[in-house]
Structure 1
Amino acid sequence: MMALALTALAAGLLLAHLVAVGLYLHRLGRKAPAKGVIGQPFVTLLRPVCGVDAFDEETLQSSFDQDYPRYEIIFCAQTSDDPVIALVNQLIARNPHVPARLLIGMDRISGNPKLNNVLKGWNAASGDWVCMTDSNLMLPPDYLATVVGSWGPATGLVSSPPVGSRPQNLGGLLECAFLNSNQALLQHAAASVGPAYAQGKTLFFNKPLLEHAGGLRELGQTLAEDAAATQITRALGREVTLTPLPFAQPIGRRSMVQVWNRQLRWSRVRRDAFPVLFAFEVLNGGVVPVAAAFGAVMLTRADPVFGLVYAAVWYLSEVFVAARAGWPSGLWAVPVLLLRDLMMMPIWLATFLRRGFDWRGTTLSPSSSALPAE
C-alpha cells in the first residue's frame, strides 16, 4: 500500500512538472502581442531608484531605449543625497529625446518604502496608464509595447516575473535557479491553466481603476504590493495578465546568505498572502518527488536504475527548458538545481519561525507594514 502511494505521488508530481515545462516551451513559440484592446496609449514608466547597484547604468538606460510611440519616464528617489541621483541626471541629459524627470522625496502612506517613494511619481503621471518597474530590471526595446499589448478585455493588471541573467558566482547561479526554472516556470504555468499572480518587478496599472479601489495606499495593506495588487484585481472582478514571456534581471554576484534571506522573505510573503497555496509549497522542487520515487523502488525491490532515470528526467527537463529559453544552463546546472531544491524544505520550515523580517534596514511585519517587491 505504501509503495503504491509513493508511486502515485512520484508519478503525479513528475507529470505536473513536465506539464509546466511543456506549457513554458509552448510560450516560447508565441509572438509578442501586437496592439491590444487599449491600442497604444500614453504611458508613464515609473522607476523607483535607491542606491547604485552594479548594473544600474544599463538597466536604467534601457528605460530610454523603448520602441514605443508615446511615453514618459519618472524616476523616484527618497533622499537628495542618494548616490543614484547623479547617475539618473546623467542619463536624462544623455537622452533628451525621451521626456524624463527625477522626483525626490517620500510620502509616508504605508510601511512599504517603495510605495512611499513612488507616490509622488504616481500623482505626477500625465496619463491614465502607469507601468511601475523596478530599477534592476533590464527592459528590452519592446518592453512597453509588450506590456501594453498584453492588456485584454478582462485584464485589471499586467505583470511579469523576472528571470535571472548574467550570474557571476555560485550564489548568482543559485538565484537564477530559483527565479527561472522554478518560480517563473511555475508562475507562467499557473497563468496558462488558471488565475495568474502578479509579481512586483512589473506592474502595469490603469490609474483610474486602481484609484477606484483605493490607490497605492490600498497596496500597502499587506506584506507586498504585488500580493495586494493580485487580491485587489480579483476583488474588482478582473484578471492579472502575465506577459507572454518574462523579462531579465542581471544578477551578478550573490552570497549564499543573500540568496537564503531573499527566498525566506518571499516565502513569508506568500504564506501570509496565499496561505492555502503556500501549504502545497512543501512539494515544490525535486526533493520530495525523487525521494518518493526511490522509496517506491526500495519497497518494491525494483532496480535502482528506475530511481536514477526518474531523477534524470526531472532535472534534465529543467536544463532543457533553460537552454531553449536562453537562461543560464548546461549539465553543470544540475548540482545547482539540486542545491536549490535541498534549500526549499528548510526555507519552507523557517517561514513559520516568525512573521516579520528586515528589509534594507527596515523591520517589516504584517501588522505594521508591507514589503516592497525587489
Structure 2
Amino acid sequence: MDFYDYVRPITGDTILFGLAIFFFCLWTFLWSFHIGALFYGKYKLYRKIPAVLPDSLPGVSILKPLTGVDAHLYDNLETYFVLNYPTYELLFCIQDESDPAQMVVRSLIEKYPKVDARILQGGKKVGINPKINNMMSGYEVCKYDLFMISDCNIKMKPDTLLDMVLHLKDDVGEIHQIPFTCDREDRLGFSSILEKVYFGTVHAKQYLFLNALGVNCTTGMSSMMRKNVLEEAGGLKAFAKYLAEDYFIAQAFLDRGWKVQISSFPALQNAGTGSVSGFQNRLVRWGKLRFAMCPANRIMEPFSDCLVNGINGAWSAAVLFNISGLAFFFVHLLTWFLLDYLIFLIMQNGPMTFSKFEFVVAWMFREITSIFILLKAEVSTVVQWRAKKFRLRYGGVVEEMREGPKQFVL
C-alpha cells in the first residue's frame, strides 16, 4: 500500500464533508430571505398616510407609455385621473399614430377635463429600448422635476402618488413600487392565480429582503425619480441601449450617492389577457436579463429555489448530523411553504380572492417548474419583447435582431 492509498479516502471524505458544510450554510443563509422579508414587509407595506401633510407638495409628471388596447386599459388609466394629489400631469406616449389606445385616452380626457393630460405621438429613436423610444417625447416636455414612469397595466389606488412623494426624502432619488397583482373580478383562470402567488411569495421575498439591505432590486413598471439627477447620468436616452433600463437607472442613482427605496403600496398589475405559458415566457425573459446583467446569478439562482435548496440541505444534514434526509426535506418543504404563505398575506393585506387549495396548487406548480424556467433562460440569449427580438450581450446591452443579410443592428 503506497502513500496515495492513504490520501485518497482522506481527501474524498474531506471534500464530501466540506461540500456538506457549504450546502448547509447556504441552506441556513437562504432562510434569512424569508425572515427579513416578513419583518420588512410588515414594517414597510400599507402604512397609513400621515394626518398632517407638508404645506406644499411638488408637482409630478407621469409618463404612460401605451401600446395597444386590452380589456382593462380604460379602467387602469382612469385611476390616474382621480388621484388624490394636488398637482400632476399625465403624458400619454403612443408610438403609432393609428394605435387604438388613443381613443381610450381621448375619451378619458373628455370625461375629466380638469386633469392636466395630453397625448404625445411618435416617440423618438434614441436607442434599442422601444419603451424608452416611446417615452422620449413625453420625457422631454415634463413640466416638473419629479417624474414617474408607469406601465399601462398598472392600476393605482387614490393615495399611491401621495405616498410615493412622501417617501421621497431629501436623500432619496428614486421611489418604486413592489410588483403585485390586483384582485380580479374576471379572473383568467389558473394563470391569474399563479401570477398572484408568484408575485406574493418568491418575488416578494427577494424584492423585500434585497431592498431592506439597500441592494439594487428595482422594476420599472411603476417608479418615480428626480429628473435633474437622471440628467446628470445622461438622461433617459443614456439607458436606451438596455432592455432592463430600470435596473441601470436605479444603479445610476446609487452610484451618485442617492438612496433608492420602495413605497408603501404595491404596484397592482391588471393585465387584460393572460395564460400560463405567457407568464412563464415573461419569467424566462426576466431570467435572461438577470443572467446578462449579473452572470453570477447563473450559478446562485438554481440553489435558491425551495426544492433544490431543500435537497441540498437534506443531504448535508444527513452527512453532518446523521439524520433522516427524507424527514429533513419534508420539514423544510412545509416550513418554506408556511413562511411563503405568511409573506403572501402581508402582500395581500386582506382576504384572498381564491381558496387555500388553489394557493397550494399554484405554489407547488411554481416551485416544480421554476428550475425548468431557469434552464430555458440559460439555453438562449435571444429575448422576445412584443413583436421584436433582441440578443443580449454581457452587461445587459442588447442588439436588435432583424431579418436579412445584416442580422444584428447595434
The TM-score normalised by the length of structure 1 is 0.89
Aligned match for 1:60, one of 56, 77, 83: 77
CA contact 1:110–1:116 (8 Å) conserved in 2: yes
| Structure 1 residues 134-185: Cα deviation after superposition (integer angstroms, max 9, x where no partner) | 1110111012111111112322222123202335221222222322212233
Q: Which residue of 1 aligns with 2:343?
A: 321
Is 2:65–2:134's contact at 8 Å kept on the other side of the alignment? yes
1:205 deviation in Å? 2.1
Question: What does residue 236 of structure 2 align with?
Answer: 216
Contact 1:44-1:125 at 8 Å conserved across structures: yes
Answering whether residue 222 of structure 2 is matched by residue 202 of structure 1, we say: yes
Whether 1:360 aligns to 2:386 is yes
Assess if the C-alpha contact under 8 Å between 2:46 and 2:265 holds in 1.
no
Q: 1:185 to 1:11 in 2, by over 3 A?
A: closer
| Distance apart, 1:369 and its partner CA | 4.6
Counterpart AA for 2:207: Q
**Structure 1 position 353, deviation (Å):** 2.0
The residue number in structure 2 matching 1:131 is 148
SS of residue paired to 1:365:
strand
Bigger mean CA deviation after superposition, 324-333 or 50-59: 324-333
Structure 1 segments (4+ residues) deviating >6 Å? 33-38
**Contact (CA 8 Å) 1:36, 1:150: kept in 2 or not?**
no
Q: TM-score, normalised by structure 2?
A: 0.82
Counterpart mapping for 1:164-313 below 5 A: 164-165=181-182, 166=184, 167-251=187-271, 253-277=273-297, 279-296=299-316, 300-302=322-324, 304-313=326-335
Shift of 1:37: 9.1
| Equivalent residue for 2:41, pick from 9, 24, 37 | 24
**Equivalent pairs, count:** 370
Alpha-carbon distance between aligned partners in 1 of 2:373 and 2:240, rounded to the nearest angstrom: 25
Which secondary structure state, in structure 2, belongs to the residue aligned with residue 228 of structure 1? Answer: helix
1:333 aligned onto 2:359: yes
Counterpart check, 1:147 vs 2:167: no
Q: Which amino acid aligns with 1:82?
A: D
Q: Using the alignment, how far apart are the partners of 1:325 and 1:203 within structure 2?
A: 18
Q: 1:35 to 1:43 in 2, by over 3 A?
A: farther
CA-CA distance at 1:113 after TM superposition: 1.1
Gaps of 5+ in 2: 1-16, 401-410
CA contact (8 A) 1:59 1:135 kept: yes
What amino acid is aligned across from residue 345 of structure 2 in structure 1? A
Question: What amino acid is the match of 2:201?
Answer: S
Q: Conserved in 2, the CA contact under 8 Å of 1:220 and 1:228?
A: no
Aligned-pair Cα RMSD in Å: 2.6
For the pair 1:108 / 2:130, whether they are aligned, the reply is: no
The separation in 1 between residues aligned to 2:89 and 2:340, in whole angstroms, is 39
Maintained 8 Å contact 2:33/2:205: no
Deviation larger for 92-101 or 304-313? 304-313
Q: Does 1:83 align with 2:100?
A: yes
Percent of aligned positions that are identical? 26
Q: What residue identity is the alignment partner of 2:171?
A: A
The one-letter code matched in structure 2 to 1:107 is: K
Contact 1:161 1:200 in 2 (8 A): no
Q: Secondary structure at the match of 2:85?
A: coil
* Aligned amino acid, residue 239 of structure 1: K
Tell me the CA shift for residue 309 of structure 1. 2.6
Equivalence for 2:403: none
Say yes or no: does 1:10 pair with 2:10.
Answer: no
Tell me how far apart the structure 2 counterparts of residues 57 and 215 of structure 1 sit (CA, whole Å): 30
Structure 1 residues 5, 365: closer, same or farther in 2, change over 3 A? closer
- In structure 2, do the counterparts of structure 1 residues 369 and 32 end up closer, same or farther at CA, with 3 Å as the change threshold? farther
Q: Distance in 2 between matches of 1:207 and 1:357?
A: 29
* Structure 1 position 38, deviation (Å): 11
- Partner of 1:88, secondary structure, is helix
Q: Is the 8 A contact 1:172 1:253 kept in 2?
A: no
Distance 2:165 2:367 in 1: 35
Amino acid corresponding to residue 346 of structure 1 in structure 2: F
- How big is the shift at 1:337? 1.4
Considering only CA atoms, is the larger Rg found in Structure 1 or Structure 2? 2
Distance 1:318 1:191 in 2: 18
In structure 1, distance between residues paired with 2:42 and 2:357: 19
